[in-house]
Structure 1
Amino acid sequence: MNWKKALVTVPLSAALLVPTVGGSVSAHGHEDHSTASKPTVSTPATDLRATLGTLLSEHGNLAIIAMRKGIEGAEDFEAASAQLNENTQALSGAIGSVYGEEAGAAFEKMWSEHVGYFVQYVQGTAEEDEEKKQAALDELSQYRKDFSAFLETATEGRVEADALAEGLQEHVNQLIGAFDAYVAGDYEEAFNMQAKARTHLFMTAKGLSSAIADQFPDKFDNTMAVTPASDLRATLNDLLSGHVAFAVTAMQNGIEGEESMEIFEANAAQLNENTGKLTAAIKSVYGEEGAATFDKMWNDHIGYFVDYVKATAAEDEAAKQTALDELSQYREDFSAFMETATNGNLTADAVSEELQTHVNQLISSFDAYETGNYDEAYNQFSAAYAHAGDISTALSGAIVTQYPEKFASSMPTDMPQTGMGGTDKDIADYFAYIIASFVLLAAGAGFVYRKKNATDAQ
């Protein structure tokens, strides 16, 4: 079933659920109303936040990719744009499920128009028409005013129009900035801006879901969208979906050869930075050894995807199979470490199954791209992006079950009114939660690799 089309038909008020890994943490990840004081990563309100985070951040990724493909005149531009349009449909359906069909239609009209203004900016750039570019920016400026007023009305003032307009301007600046840097050949800045745009949209989901849950408490079982546990889930979703976003495009750039080498290197650097955020979190708590072990595991599996791309370029079927075999071994090792790290809250078999899905999706997206089946390439990209949310739900659920005292729901009751873009303190809090929770993950990683190395040495 297409997960996005499912979102359109299932009301958010009934909770837009993201399945957990293999059902292995279902008893831990969902609210137990008999012990409601226990922290949990999955409630109707936190599921809403997670769904909006996935959809909004994917919009940012696809919009940036489509803009790049447009300026290049790339063959896959239409497929990337079609996937962006599907994302718009999913978002519109989500809004309509809460506020009604009329509001959903109004959202879709405004959202589609703002996507169109970005396209107009790309066209102006290609034509070296500064007036056309400025006209697009003016339209985007008017859009943010209209859209902000729409959401202020829809949320009955829980989202303030002025604050939201400020946040939307940041969104526009990030997407335009990422595109302008790309056109200018400053690929490092282009991918840095893409990363910032992704995280900003996760923070937007935080504010919007909090407003909706507060507006309709009965529909969301009087649960809160913003809790320490849901912050952990959102942080992991941001990092893991970011891994997918940058891995898929790096593989695309890698197969395109020397002409895209500078782009590939900047893309790969951002992928490495994504890995570094996880590694730094572990290092700050568990020290050099734990961080080095985790970093090795994660970078190894990225390297196997690169090996697959190189083998494809060389038309070396044996080397391609070797890369797949290495990914299979990684899956086994990483699954064992996850089971150990989470004290069995995630089983190795369940993790292994989901990791295989992850591998299949990235390989399938790349294979489809390489053969010119661009619609399938972006369908698989989108599926992999959503699947990162599944893994985040399961992993965060296991961690919260393991350390409930670290995720007690003692959060401020006021909802963010600063454009829903987040503050430095919000981001610091995010990393505080993930740092606190990865202690045992690092320990598990060290255990598994020490065990594997001892076996290899025999």
Structure 2
Amino acid sequence: MHGQLWRVLPLLCAGLLFLAPSTPPVVAAQTAPAPADLAIRFEALLGQHSVLAADLMRSRIRGDDDFVQAANAALGRNTTDMSTLVGQLFGKPAADRFGPMWSEHIVELFAYAGALAGRDETAKGNAMEELTEYEEALGDFFAGASQGRLSQAAARAAVVEHVGHLTGQADAYAAGNYAAADDLYRMGYQHTYDLGLTLAGTLLPPADAATLREPLWRLRSQLGKLLAEHAVLIEDLTRAAVTNTPDFTASGDMINGNTRDLAAAMDTLFGAAAAKQFQSIWGDHVEQLVAYAQAGGDQAKKDAAAAAMTGIEQRLGEFLAGATGKRVAPAELTAAIRKHDMMLMRHADAYAGKDYATAHDVAYETYQEMFDLARTLADAFGANVAARLPKGGAQTGYGGMASVVSSFATPGR
């Protein structure tokens, strides 16, 4: 239905990744990252993969050719980064095995979305059959890399769930059930992000994996998860705002859910009063970012939203500095939040101008930047505060925020 484009893009997606094993990374003259740092990067890249793959599938369903090409390039960058990281964590032979399997599973997700766009049940069934094969192969790869610490059944089940989230959200999106699609979008991100921690906990040697259970490392991981999701969902919402698409309301519900989850984390770390204050400021922050995107070509409205954000950034900087006991200066935190907002405004401008390549580049960098902010905050909050996180095993993200977030299930709390 879309001519030669659909036959070329899967090859591009695969080709980008196949370049990674043959091009060894440049080694800088600096201390190698700690295994725990690499583990957090691994879960971050897996979570990012989930949302990029979902965005790619949705754009193909819409028939949005220009957006598809930019989304495909962003996903190719993510898969290249993942293949390189697998090599850093587990060695070049592991990366050489991982790369082709991961690339092919993306190609089949792409084909699945194409079948939905073309209403071709035969092609959809063929894509699902191929996906099933790659699910098994990827599960077996992770089980083998764990040297017996991760069972084949558990590894396969994790990959099957990941693919199920992506195909399920695509099915719902194609049917116009945007609320269900977005529920699965968030579930897919959260599951895949946590899958990264689970895999790291079983694939790394036990001494290295134990570091991931330390309070500060758990807080870095979980704050990064929530803050990066905020960036992803704001970008999704601003795209819907710019184009006034029918999924705007569902996108708004997604970002509201993330805001409640962040407030729940603040409740756990600092108590209900701090959580209420944070939720109010953060909600204002989200509202002005959306107002900026909705302003379109009305420069006066954009300027008003940007001006309002300046005041909100200062309030957030003061709040977070207080939470750290002033171990980080308010001006430093305000500047970090300002940088974040400027990147999101730049993304909205690029998307509105249909410069999708720039929009995706900015979105990619914004996602990564949130982990720097998460680490700054976690280290400043300190181990005593971090120890308030619930505890658990690798299968629960070492406790994470799951049990906390459930207490903020309703917007009115």
TM-score band by shorter chain is 0.7 to 0.9
Say yes or no: does 1:187 pair with 2:178: yes
- Stretches of structure 2 lacking an aligned partner (at least 5 in a row): 1-19, 407-413
Say yes or no: does 1:326 pair with 2:313: no
Counterparts in 2 of 1:297 and 1:8: CA distance versus 1, 3 Å: farther
Where in structure 2 are the equivalents of 1:208-227 lying within 5 Å? 208-214=199-205, 217=207, 224-227=211-214
- 1:100 is displaced (CA, Å) by 3.1
Counterparts in 2 of 1:339 and 1:89: CA distance versus 1, 3 Å: same
- 1:432 is displaced (CA, Å) by 6.2
TM-score, structure 1 length as denominator? Answer: 0.77
Identity %: 26
Structure 1 counterpart SS, 2:295:
helix
Question: What letter matches 2:110 in structure 1?
Answer: V
Question: In 1, distance between residues paired with 2:282 and 2:26?
Answer: 37
Contact 2:268 2:389 in 1 (8 A): no
Contact 2:270 2:323 in 1 (8 A): no
Kindly provide the CA deviation profile for residues 277-301 of structure 1, in whole angstroms up to 9, marking residues without a partner as x: 2234455787765443222101101
- 1:431 is displaced (CA, Å) by 4.8
- 1:7 is displaced (CA, Å) by 11
Structure 1 counterpart of 2:319, from 331, 337, 342: 337
Question: What letter matches 2:37 in structure 1?
Answer: D
- 1:124 is displaced (CA, Å) by 1.4
Where in structure 2 are the equivalents of 1:233-272 lying within 5 Å? 233-257=220-244, 260=245, 262-272=246-256
Kindly provide the CA deviation profile for residues 36-90 of structure 1, in whole angstroms up to 9, marking residues without a partner as x: xxxxxxxx23312210111000000000000000111112111001100110000
Corresponding residue for 2:51?
61
TM-score, structure 2 length as denominator? Answer: 0.85
Counterparts in 2 of 1:407 and 1:249: CA distance versus 1, 3 Å: closer
Question: In 1, distance between residues paired with 2:221 and 2:269?
Answer: 20
Where in structure 2 are the equivalents of 1:154-233 lying within 5 Å? 154-214=145-205, 217=207, 224-233=211-220
Corresponding residue for 2:335?
353
Question: In 1, distance between residues paired with 2:351 and 2:384?
Answer: 41
Corresponding residue for 1:275?
259
Corresponding residue for 1:22?
none
Question: In 1, distance between residues paired with 2:287 and 2:225?
Answer: 21
Contact 2:228 2:371 in 1 (8 A): yes
Question: In 2, distance between residues paired with 1:233 and 1:104?
Answer: 26
Contact 1:331 1:355 in 2 (8 A): yes
Contact 2:179 2:250 in 1 (8 A): yes
- 1:10 is displaced (CA, Å) by 5.5
Contact 1:365 1:381 in 2 (8 A): yes
Structure 2 counterpart SS, 1:403:
helix
- 1:401 is displaced (CA, Å) by 4.2
Structure 1 counterpart of 2:67, from 60, 63, 76: 76
- 1:209 is displaced (CA, Å) by 1.5
Q: Which has the higher contact order (CA 8 A, sep 6+)?
A: 1
When the two structures are aligned, how many residues end up with a matched partner?
383
* Greater alpha carbon shift after TM alignment, 77-86 vs 272-281: 272-281
Corresponding residue for 1:403?
385
Question: In 2, distance between residues paired with 1:433 and 1:252?
Answer: 30
Counterparts in 2 of 1:193 and 1:10: CA distance versus 1, 3 Å: farther
- 1:114 is displaced (CA, Å) by 0.1
Question: In 2, distance between residues paired with 1:380 and 1:125?
Answer: 29
Structure 1 counterpart SS, 2:247:
helix
Corresponding residue for 2:357?
375
Question: In 2, distance between residues paired with 1:14 and 1:193?
Answer: 39
- Stretches of structure 1 lacking an aligned partner (at least 5 in a row): 17-43, 417-421, 436-458
Question: In 1, distance between residues paired with 2:404 and 2:381?
Answer: 10
Question: In 1, distance between residues paired with 2:275 and 2:284?
Answer: 14
Kindly provide the CA deviation profile for residues 401-443 of structure 1, in whole angstroms up to 9, marking residues without a partner as x: 45376479xx88xx74xxxxx34xx5865356899xxxxxxxx
Question: In 1, distance between residues paired with 2:40 and 2:269?
Answer: 27
Question: In 2, distance between residues paired with 1:325 and 1:155?
Answer: 51
Question: What letter matches 1:66 in structure 2?
Answer: L
Counterparts in 2 of 1:208 and 1:124: CA distance versus 1, 3 Å: same
Contact 1:210 1:225 in 2 (8 A): yes
Q: CA RMSD in A?
A: 2.8
Corresponding residue for 1:438?
none
Contact 1:45 1:209 in 2 (8 A): no
Kindly provide the CA deviation profile for residues 381-415 of structure 1, in whole angstroms up to 9, marking residues without a partner as x: 0111111111111111112245376479xx88xx7
Contact 1:155 1:212 in 2 (8 A): yes
Question: What letter matches 1:52 in structure 2?
Answer: F
Question: What letter matches 1:120 in structure 2?
Answer: A
- 1:184 is displaced (CA, Å) by 0.9
Contact 1:125 1:133 in 2 (8 A): yes
* Greater alpha carbon shift after TM alignment, 97-106 vs 82-91: 97-106
Corresponding residue for 1:34?
none
Kindly provide the CA deviation profile for residues 315-365 of structure 1, in whole angstroms up to 9, marking residues without a partner as x: 221221111111111111111121122111221122122112101211111
Corresponding residue for 2:122?
131
